[in-house]
Amino acid sequence: MNTIKKVVSTVWYNKENYHELRNVFPEAEFVYVNFYDKEKLEAEARDADVAIILGDVDNCLLGENSLKWIACDHAGLNGSARDDVFAKNIFVTGAAGRSAPVLAEHCIYFMMQYCYHTKELLEAQAQGKWGVEGSQKWKGLYGRKVGIIGMGNNGRMLADRLNAFGMDIYAFDKFPIKGYDFVKEKFIGNNGDTIDYILENCDFIVLTLALTDETYHMFDENAFKKMKKDAFLVNMARGGIVDTAALTKALQEGEIGGAGLDVVEEEPFPSDHPLWTMPTVYITPHTTPQVPNRSKRTIEIIRENKRRFLAGEPMLNLLKEADRFGSGETQSGFAKLTNSTMPKEQIEKLPLDKYLGERGWTDPAEWNYLD
């Protein structure tokens, strides 16, 4: 039977959230370590059962220690899907689903901008101009076809909302899609289905799937040639799923209508890239407004996973072989900071609250107590 006697944590929470996290493990010793103090983290992990960490699994946690479970405080686990991590043979979990409601909103934001020709309307407003040429031909979302590729947390949240908009929804996932009877058709990769119907028939295609070696450059030159001439692509997943060069060419040559991109292959995106200035392309810099308390949603995932860990039940958001990605860069700018080999003295001089949010405490004693 699993037990938890010691927890070590590096997450960057405020006092309220840290106090709640600490009380998820009332039976255990709870130790805080700055994420950049690798030497102390390695030492504290030697006799710990659980590590709750800010970034991907760090090399300092892969040595001789008693860890049984590492919880990563972010959604994607590509950066932890490495041979040395799998060889550790312990549970590694993520926080997928914590931001799903607002990520679904972000998808709709892109779709609405395309429908309502936002750039043209704002330009007309700036000029005090009443009326925009061609506006009588614009169409809204109602009654149009949308393909959702990836029916995990984000895809399901999006499907719920687009159903309320009265859209015809088509969905693709590698695994069977349970429920969602309002979806017009479900395509299952493991059953031999492809995304071709979605490519050829949908007005909007939204990517909400994981980046793996299997999905890398899923949207390439061939995929864009199959899409409708006025189709709009939304990528809220990972940049590597879309071949940037192929997307640029498809837009330049009028093979598709437009794109909404929160993620791209190269981040930060070069300021001179032609996608920035294309009239039907909308770009946000890998940033989505937060749910009211994202950290609290992560804590609820950790709380449920603790229950499952102790009960010997399958855990949520568990690292798996399919998370491997060897085709390119696996770390975002955030992950590069949290797993940096930069000397801790140098990291301490950075404005960490600016990058990671306000903590509002300096001494763990401010929150490290039991109710």
Q: Which residues are catalytic?
A: 238, 267, 286
My answer on whether omega of the bond before 268 falls inside 30° of 0, hence cis, is yes
Residues 6 or more apart whose CB falls under 8 angstroms from that of 104 comprise: 154, 157, 158, 160, 161
Q: At what angle do helices 153-164 and 100-115 cross, to 10 degrees?
A: 50
**DSSP assigned state of 293:** T
CA distance 254 to 252: 6
Six token digits for residue 218? 């899923």
Q: How far apart are CA 34 and CA 289, in angstroms?
A: 26
Nearest to 219 by CA among 177, 251, 190, 176: 251
**Nearest-angstrom CA–CA distance, 238 and 293:** 23
Residues in the chain: 371
Q: Return phi, psi of residue 318, to 5°.
A: -80, 135
Distance CA 227, CA 234 (A): 13
User: Rounded to the nearest 10 degrees, how much is the dihedral formed by the CA atoms of 179, 185, 191, 193?
Assistant: -150
Greatest extent of the chain over all pairs of C-alpha atoms, in Å: 71
Handedness of CA 134, 136, 139, 140 (dihedral sign): positive
How wide is the angle at C-alpha 110 spanned by C-alphas 168 and 73, nearest 5°? 100
d(CA 306, CA 296) in angstroms, rounded, equals: 15
